[in-house]
Structures are given as C-alpha cells and as structure tokens.
Amino acid sequence: MKKSLKPLNAPPPKLSSPMKTAMRAASHALALGVLLVSGAVWTISQQHPLYANPGKLLRLPAAIVDAAQPTEQAFRIGEVLNQYTHDRALAFRIADALVAQADKEHIDPALLVGVLLTEDATLDPHARSSVGARGLMQVMPLHGGKWGCGSSDLFDVESNICHGVQILKAALDGSPNTRVALLRYNGCVRGRNTPNCHLYDDKVLRHAGRAAAEMRLVKTQKSE
C-alpha cells in the first residue's frame, strides 16, 4: 500500500505558544549580540589614533593592543590576517615580519597592516602589478637590494616587508602628516599614478582602523 505524500506547498506545522515565545527570544538575543559586537568594533576603530587624528604624523606605536609585547602583537595580527588566506602559517609569518619592522622603525603596526591589505588583500607573496610592483607590499624592482634587508628578492616575505617599510619610513620622514606619506608611498603625490589614487590614504586608514579593532578583540593564547 502506498503511503500518501504531502504536497510540496503544504503549510508548515503550527507551533505552540511556548515554542513561538522561545524562538522570538532566541532571535532577539542573536540580533542583540550582532549589534553589540559590531558596535564594539566600530567604537574601538574610531578611538584608534589613525582615525582620531588622520592628519597627524604617526610614527610611534599607538598601543593598538594596549601594552602588548611584540610576540603578542604578532599573534593578534596573525589571527586578523588569517581571515584573508587559507594558509595560516603564511598569515603568521607575515605578522611576525610586520611586527619586527614596526618595532624596529617605530611605526604603528596597524598602519603597516593597513598598507599591506590595501596593496594585496589576497596575501600573495608572488603578486605582481601591471606596472611591475612585486610582492605583498607591491615594491618596485628598482628598490630591491637597498636598506640592508638581507635579500633583494622582493617575492620573499621578510625581504618584501622590509623594503616596503623602509619606503614608507622615508615617506613619513619627508611628509607633514600620515595621509601625505601614504600618498607618497603609492606614488600619488600629484595624482598622476592611477585613477582615483587620491583615495589611497582613505583605504589604508580604513583597513588599519578595522584591523586595530579586531586585534583588540582577539583572545591571546595566554588567556585561553
């Protein structure tokens, strides 16, 4: 004997009043949780000096993760960068290189993260632009081998970041504020580099502010 099948457009079963109340409460709790997390990220990012004083020249680390030591900063940055790649080891290798250079040159590591994500959010060490810029921080070949970065190979993670940070450092040293320095890093001083290159500094600062907020929310290995 064949079983009778319910039509595809059959109305869903009715829920009891207690079940409806429980589902509404769960839905409200989830919505509130999303709003709280989003608000925390937004508030923290807006408090970060990169957002509060975008026209100020930022050279010294701005305590993006409170008084975190370099190893802890690297862990938090690694967790943030891991969102952009399936290669977790690569994310943490990049984070270590960024923090090492930030500490050496006294530059806010969040700013370096912002530059890196603006240049190549896919975190591809072998990225190459249409004009020949290479690697994670899109360094032009003419800079290869300068500043004692240990290698002239701009597709090497540590070498590329070292070169990129040195270029940014030179731009910061010769600029009245961070925004102008970022435009110089991008070769957009007169706006003749690429279309809309004058928006480069905004993109970097947005990435930097968001990364700084996410770093503060990342749990460290010690607290787990």
Alpha-carbon distances, residue 119 vs 8, 61, 74, 115, 150 (angstroms): 50, 21, 20, 6, 22
When mean pLDDT is compared across 35-44, 47-56, 103-112, 131-140, the lowest value belongs to 35-44
pLDDT at 65: 42
pLDDT at 158: 97
CATH (domain of 118): 1.10.530.10
Q: Which residue has the tokens 């460290």?
A: 220
Task: Write out pLDDT tens, residues 71-82.
Answer: 888 999 999 999
d(CA 58, CA 60): 6
Answer yes or no: is 34 within a domain.
no
Answer yes or no: is 60 within a domain.
yes
Reported confidence tier of residue 197, pLDDT bands at 50, 70, 90: confident
Answer yes or no: is 15 within a domain.
no
pLDDT at 19: 56
The arithmetic mean of pLDDT across residues 2-11, rounded, is 40
When mean pLDDT is compared across 12-21, 97-106, 192-201, the lowest value belongs to 12-21
How many structural domains does the chain have?
1
Task: Write out pLDDT tens, residues 24-70.
Answer: 555 544 444 443 444 444 333 444 445 445 545 454 444 444 446 77
Residue 157: partners with Cβ closer than 8 Å, 6 or more residues away: 90, 93, 94, 97, 125, 135, 136
Altogether, the residues listed in the chain come to a count of 224
Answer yes or no: is 8 within a domain.
no
Residue 50 domain boundaries: 46-223
Residue 98 scores a pLDDT above 90: yes
Answer yes or no: is 26 within a domain.
no
Strand partners, 134: 128, 139
pLDDT at 217: 86
Answer yes or no: is 29 within a domain.
no
Answer yes or no: is 89 within a domain.
yes
pLDDT at 198: 87
Task: Write out pLDDT tens, residues 177-191.
Answer: 999 999 999 988 765
